[in-house]
Amino acid sequence: MTHRRWFTPWLLAGPAVLWLAVFNLWPAVNTVILSFTNARPLGGGRFTGLANYQRAVEDEQLADALVNSIVYLLICLPLLTLLPLLLALLVERRLPGITFFRTAFYTPVIASAVVVALIWGWVLDDRGLLNGLLGQLGLAARPVSFLTDRWLLLFSAIGLTVWKGLGYYMVIYLSALGNVGRELHEAAAVDGASAVRRLWHVTLPGVRPTMMLVSVLISVSALRVFSELYVLSHGTGGPGGRDMSVVMLIQLYSRGFTGHIGYASALSLLLFAITVGPMLLLARLGRKAA
């Protein structure tokens, strides 16, 4: 005979629910509330209606940051969806020494984003390795402004993101490729399908759900980029602050004794809305394809 008390499930779920409420739900609700106020770390907090959102519409730095985010997304999404798949196909084969390549491709993932960005900063700066090489080869009379030109700095950060992300998504694809039935490949080969046709008609349909997952992950991280741009620009956001991401702007406005918590909260919600958009779109595309 078992005794069932009504509160037993609550008792079991209670700690987790409390944790979620305090550290996830409440901060999210608080962010929404703060975005309608002029809150500062010390004082302020009066209701200001849509003033913060009005300010965001007129904010030139936010417009630049959104352009940067969209460029980031448009370049990172195809590169980080396809290149890791190709890498995974390469290292999937059981060849002698293939573990070395798998490890090598994954190494940038385990390195700290800040440390990696610092190393890239040394490579790309005025007197860095790359400019030294270009000078030695006679390809550039003066150092190339990788870290001071608006677009070159952005593309350098994108390059860093792609390089660092390859190994991570490669591992996800490797596990997906392992689930594609070998018998399908064998049957296609028996039917005379070439390697390219097998890739197109067997492998890709098999990993399509994973490609959707990877695309969503890339979209979210591309729109929320921070470390790469921050470290490569030494926290300055480039000349005129034109290389700032939305997260850098949130950090700019929220820090310090006189931070604009209300406005930073409004930017956070805008970023949330912008991030959710591509996620929903990709999820819808995924369902349609399925």
Partner 1 sequence: MLGSHWARLAVAAIAATTLAGCGLSDPDTGSDGPAVAAGAEVKGKVSIQTWALKPKFTDYMQGVLDVFQQEHPGVQVEWLDQPGDGYSDKVLSQASGGTLPDVVNLPPDFALPLAAQGMLLDVAAADPKLADDYVKGGIDAYRFAGRDGAYGYPWYLNTDVNYWNSELLAKYGLDARKPPSSLDELMARARTVKEKSGGTTYLMSRKPGLGDLADAGVKLMADDGRSFTFNTSEAAALLDKYRDAYKEGLLPKDVLTETYAGNAKLFNAGTVAWTTGGGNYITGLATDNPTLAPKVVPSPAIGTPPLYVQGLSVARTSKNRAAAVALARWVTNARNQAAFAHLTSIFPSTKASADDPFFSRSDGSNASDAKVIAFTSLGRARMLQPVQVNDAMSTVVNQQIALAISGETTSKQALDTAVSRCNKLLAG
Report the C-alpha gap between 269 and 281 in whole angstroms: 19
Q: Does 27 bind partner 1 (CB under 8 A)?
A: no
Report the C-alpha gap between 257 and 262 in whole angstroms: 14
Footprint on residues 55-114 left by partner 1 (CB under 8 A)? 55, 61
Shortest distance, position 69 Cβ to partner 1, whole Å: 18
Q: Is residue 150 exposed (0-12), middle (13-18) or buried (19+ Cβ within 10 Å)?
A: middle
Complex with partner 1: residue 173 or 253, whichever CB lies closer: 253
Complex with partner 1: residue 62 or 166, whichever CB lies closer: 62
Q: Which residues contact 269 (CB under 8 A, 6 or more apart)?
A: 31, 32, 35
Q: Does 225 bind partner 1 (CB under 8 A)?
A: no
Report the C-alpha gap between 274 and 267 in whole angstroms: 10
Pair of tokens at residue 159 = 């390059």
Complex with partner 1: residue 64 or 168, whichever CB lies closer: 64
Q: Which stretch binds partner 1 (CB under 8 A): 166-174, 188-196, 215-223, 230-238?
A: 230-238
Report the C-alpha gap between 150 and 65 in whole angstroms: 12
Complex with partner 1: residue 46 or 197, whichever CB lies closer: 46
Q: Does 181 bind partner 1 (CB under 8 A)?
A: no
Complex with partner 1: residue 165 or 237, whichever CB lies closer: 237
Q: Which stretch binds partner 1 (CB under 8 A): 2-10, 203-211, 251-259, 279-287?
A: 251-259
Count of positions on this chain that bind partner 1 (CB under 8 A): 44
* E-only strand ranges, the chain: none
Half-sphere exposure (Cβ direction) of 79: Cα atoms closer than 13 Å:
18
- Pick the closest to residue 216 from 172, 250, 157 (CA basis): 172
With CB under 8 A as the contact rule, the residue among 13, 18, 20, 33 that binds partner 1 is 33
Integer angstrom CA distances of residue 213 from 5, 136, 217: 41, 44, 6
Residue 243 identity: D
Q: Which stretch binds partner 1 (CB under 8 A): 75-83, 124-132, 194-202, 216-224?
A: 124-132
Q: Does 286 bind partner 1 (CB under 8 A)?
A: no
Q: Does 132 bind partner 1 (CB under 8 A)?
A: no
Q: Which residues bind partner 1 (CB under 8 A)?
A: 26, 29-30, 33-34, 37-46, 55, 61, 125-127, 142-143, 145, 147-148, 153, 233-242, 252-253, 255-260
